[in-house]
Chain A
Amino acid sequence: MSLSIQNLTASIGDQPILKGLNLEVPKGEVHAIMGKNGSGKSTLAKIMAGHPDYTVTGGDVLMDGVSLFSMEEPDARARAGLFLAFQYPMEIPGVTIANFIRAAVQARLPEGEELEATDYYANLYAKMDALKIARAFTSRSVNEGFSGGEKKRCEILQMSMLEPKYAVLDETDSGLDIDALKIVSEGVNALRSPDRGFLVITHYQRLLDYIVPDKVHVMVDGRIALSGDKDLALELEARGYDWVTEDALATA
């Protein structure tokens, strides 16, 4: 059981972005992808989630053996258990967080089955308590006027309510101060489980002090150039990315 990315190539327009990417995240593990801006990290996240701007030109992504690309619509992949925590979560004016998550939970129920409101709110409030989110939060419009920290906490709350099999966290640390980073990381750690895999995309090693990964991968020019354990992140922090880039180019 894993999220298995196999020789994935993809482009935007005529521009190739992923150039044969291989990566396997076994269920129960947390893997980190690090890399310079423009190396294709966020693109990978969007392609897996089914963003319409990108074209997959080759390879496959198997989620517990089922090809993500066999599910055309992004919502089908989401309901099958893939969650993407966005780097820049979108605002949805007039739609409260409570109603938004409720619609998402409802969308996972079989046709004709209606979500029980009292059960839903009991569950929502329990999850919010665990993430130290005040009750008043639920009546605010999704991401509208939120601080960076609030947006990311809202993403984690959605993740905890939707209970995905695999979660991709795209630059979750961007825009967070150290306190917010700790809270968000605690939330993610609380959701670590043998039944769930994480792919954490980040630019900085800092996040990995709080969300300690099982493996670290370095992405260079649309491919994984180097993989290692959590100490690789520290090495990258100390030495920068350029030495990996040179190695990657040397072996290409």
Chain B
Amino acid sequence: MPAIAEETEKPNIDIDRSVGDFSYKMDYAFDAGVGLNEQTIDYICDVKKDPDWVRAFRKDGYRKFLEKPMPTHWASHDLDNIVFENIRYYLSQGVTPSRSWDDVPEEMKQTFERLGIPEQERKYLAGVEAQFDSEAAYSNIKAAVGEQGVIFVGSTEGLHKHPEIFRKWFGKVIPSSDNKFSALNSAVFSGGSFIYVPPGVKVKHPLQAYFRINAQNFGQFERTLIIADEGSEVMYMEGCTAPKFETSTLHSAVVELVALKGAKIQYVTVQNWSANVFNLVTKRGLAHEEAEIKWIDCNIGSRLTMKYPGVIMKGRKARGEVISIALANDGQHQDTGAKMIHAADETTSNIVSKSISIGTGQSTYRGLVDIPPHRKGCKNNTECDALLINTNSRTDTYPAIVARGNKNACQHEASVSKINAEQIFYMQQRGLTEGQAMSLAVNGFVNDLVREFPMEYSVELKRLIDLEMEGSVG
């Protein structure tokens, strides 16, 4: 039996400061070792019993990964500090998730219990997938939702059991060659969700995935594919945590969404990575006629996050939306934004981005809105607001709005504000500590966006902001 690390046996009184900061010592049954080469990929294929086309897909992704340069000509040079040969690419206890928490290995079960997942599942979720390092330890969907024909499984099970849907869309929204990290993900992907919602089915409660990194020097490469068939609706929420290790950890996911005619997908992320995680994620959705894709993205923690959720509106009257909150604390860099590609007439997109930079934290907004000249009746609204806390903070905005042609409407607003010493003094005079005062001001700044989050997540978000602000006061 794997041994539990001694320091985790007694309840940690500091646990509320950073709920995710603990780890268990595991003896993994499947371990691809350190470093990446063709053999690593073969090992992963063998463990997962990948069909030939997936093996070929992975090898092709690997070649593209090697070919592509680091995007440091525009992105942070911190990327050069990722040492790919020091990373472990696959760690698991087996590829088949349990349907019952009782069957989940003890350390994994304890991990997710400490993170509150089974409790949330009982309270308000339609289905849960809980990924521990490379594979899901648990995956289940409520019977009533399953009976409607909704599929909610891991990517491995998806490609094995539902190849006719999976293969049609997999890698189509985000090709392996999109960027260096989407290529890397294509080579070594494991875990993530596959969801299919049949025509007209409206999933009432959210489906949730929780991504947990437990191992040191590890790379997590989940791959999620969500297909909402005509007129259907689904909300998917993901949470992420990792313990604080001395060495860096890589999280590089690819998420593809397909909303067919009139379908609606809401994708909610609340990430709370520890400060050693490189979080380099590619997320994009394809919205057909009158379909709607909404990304609600909250980035807290990590060493460097690069994430620009996008929507390609390829059908008439499709809608795309990105609502994002990023909080860059001391030493962190949140490089986030949105991409909106108006590939059909009368398409509408909305981007609202709020960033908070604290201490030496750095926030960058990168936006791309593309409306070609022959389009008619397209609309975009972009708002980016930055809040700076203390003078070392830095914020950059790179909004690229390419609206050629004169039959479309674009609107862009940006603001930068500071929490000033007089505001903090005013709140302190009412009895709030400096940390509480800053936390209140930050919560006020993001308040209108937090209302867009599902109730349970907005409570969680407020708590995370409180913890970050308490920790940021000297």
Contact = CB atoms under 8 A, between A and B. Distances in A.
Interface of A: 49-52, 73-75, 78-79, 83-84, 86, 89-95, 99-101, 103-104, 107-108, 141, 158, 162
Contacts of B447: 94-95
Interface stretch (B52-60, B163-171, B427-435): B427-435
Interface in B405-458: 417, 421-423, 425-434, 436-437, 440-441, 443-448
A83 B431 CA distance: 9
Contact of B440 (A79, A90, A91, A100): A100
A49 B448 CA distance: 32
25 contacts: A73-B433, A75-B428, A75-B434, A75-B436, A75-B437, A78-B429, A78-B430, A84-B429, A86-B426, A90-B423, A90-B426, A92-B427, A93-B444, A94-B444, A94-B446, A95-B444, A95-B447, A99-B440, A101-B430, A103-B436, A103-B440, A104-B430, A107-B430, A107-B431, A107-B433
A73 B432 CA distance: 10
A251 B447 CA distance: 57
Main secondary structure of the interface of A (DSSP, over half): mixed
A130 B444 CA distance: 28
Contacts of A107: 430-433, 436
A18 B446 CA distance: 41
Contacts of A101: 430
Contact of B429 (A49, A92, A94, A95): A49
A92 B441 CA distance: 7
A8 B440 CA distance: 34
A94 B425 contact: no
Contacts of A158: 430
Contact of B431 (A75, A86, A90, A99): A75
A95 B426 CA distance: 13
B440 A108 contact: no
B289 to A, nearest CB: 37
B425 A74 contact: yes
Nearest to B444: A94
B444 A92 contact: yes
A73 B443 contact: no
Interface core residue of B431, B437, B447, B448 (most chain A CB under 10 Å): B431
A107 B440 CA distance: 12
Contacts of A93: 417, 444-445
Given A75-B428, A93-B445, 19 more contacts: A49-B429, A50-B428, A73-B434, A75-B429, A75-B431, A75-B437, A78-B428, A78-B431, A90-B422, A90-B426, A92-B441, A94-B445, A99-B440, A100-B440, A101-B430, A103-B436, A107-B431, A107-B436, A108-B431
Contacts of B448: 94
A86 B426 CA distance: 8
B466 to A, nearest CB: 11
A92 B423 contact: yes
B432 A103 contact: yes
Please give me the 4 A-B residue pairs with the lowest Cβ-Cβ distance, nearest first. A94-B444, A95-B444, A94-B447, A90-B426
A94 B443 contact: yes
A79 B421 CA distance: 19
B433 A52 contact: no
A163 to B, nearest CB: 11
B433 A75 contact: yes
Contacts of B423: 90-92
Contact of A52 (B421, B437, B440, B441): B421
Contacts of A74: 425, 428-429
Interface core residue of B432, B433, B448 (most chain A CB under 10 Å): B432
Contacts of A100: 427, 430, 440
Contacts of A86: 426, 429
Contact of B428 (A73, A83, A89, A162): A73
